[in-house]
Structure 1
Amino acid sequence: MQLHPIPAFDDNYIWAYSDAAGHTVIVDPGQAQPVLDWLAREQRTLSAVLITHHHGDHVGGLAALLAAHPVPVYGPAHPAIPWVSTVVVDGDHIPLAAPAVTFSVLAVPGHTLTHLAFFTADGGQPVLFPGDTLFASGCGRLFEGTPAQMLASLDRLATLPADTRVCCAHEYSLSNVRFARAVLPTDSALAARQQQMEAQRAAQQPTLPVTLADELLCNPFLRADDPRVQQAVASESGQPVADRTATFAALRAWKDRF
């Protein structure tokens, strides 16, 4: 199985996941034309579409894409995405014939209340499509959910295999790693990650996917139990944090104004 990030808008990635015969799953097509162009150029066959959440930059291209390629669409129940042909919820499985993979559906509320993530290990190295829940060195804004919900969602994703390739939906890596270094300025792993990602972007290469192992090492939002993160949050906010949920909430608020 092959992964390919299709750039859209200013910083979105629409992910394509294909087998050797070209059968392809598309995740979160916010724009149709980049996907249509890529499918034609690479001579791939669209088999299915996965939707993580209802925001326009993730679903805006569905109507035009389906007009050209009428395929099943799997996603959450939400009035903003009437194109979903099969509503899926936490614990469901999506078995596809071509490509021959089965996706596990994970409910990850926080960014939105009905947000889903999709995970599979059938293509070799495990793959996670987290939408806007988990980013490289970051996490999504809380538009609908609570800090406790988002933290529980991130905790859940953190239990997946360490070699999972995390296919984030935005190229936010540089801004996120700069914030992470403000939280943990002496962290050598973060310093190395920033240098690597700056080189990738300078070469006009995507910084994604990243591995979950790297996120566990370099993402402060996955380290609410880390005393160094707690100390940094308390210092920045000017008050002690009561527990890991309060640490996460203060960290997210810090990032919002960073």
Structure 2
Amino acid sequence: MLVDSHAHIYSEKFKEDRDGAIARAVGEGVGKIYMPNIDHTSIDVMLETEAKHPEVCLPMMGLHPTSVDKNFEKELYLVEEWLGKRSFAAVGECGIDLYWDKNFLPEQQEALKVQVALAKKYKLPIVLHTRDSFDETYEIIAAAQDGSLRGIFHCFSGSVEQAAKVKEINFLMGIGGVATFKNGGLDLVLPHVQLEDLVLETDCPYLAPVPHRGKRNEPVYLPLIARRVAELMNKTEDEVAAVTTKNALDLFKL
């Protein structure tokens, strides 16, 4: 079995064939699909997806950094309200994004700190978005790490040194389609890390792996990522599947 630790399968991009996409993934051995929330607009369709596929699709609850603006507190009240009334697999997707907009960095930092506190309060792992912001995000997480915090640096595409820092604070790295990209950089990193520090993800509908790059991504492509990770780490695909699946299930069942 494979686990897709990060998939926006509830996205509008799957409106016409969501059930089919999930069935295709299950047919290829993807047994669990973990769904990160974005903001108040994504909650209903995410929970509807879970209701239709409760054995496969599992939701997180959080506020994505690109949805953080000067009114972010209102969104966070909703996140906390949901965390208090039912179970979720993790707090997320949250973090810092400096690719699209740097104007709300202080608000993004504050929103992340609040969600770190919620992860601790509800004893949940936290799933981190770090686009163009590894150092800024890491600083907050490392400062908050008291031994109780676990989670994933989602869509990890950093250096060997950054991978070592993630391991140092007992977090995992989410490896997706970037591993298959010619200039993705992970070919220089994955040979120097351990499978025990990784989970697999698609981040669908984004970042489809080669040979589907540029098209809609979906969880059925997860085996392509597993195959590339196996090649780069000199492991078998079965080893990659077994270890990354165990890592994901252990983390999300905290």
Instruction: Give TM class, smaller chain.
Output: 0.3 to 0.5
TM normalised by structure 1 equals 0.34
Answer with 1 or 2: which has the greater Rg.
1
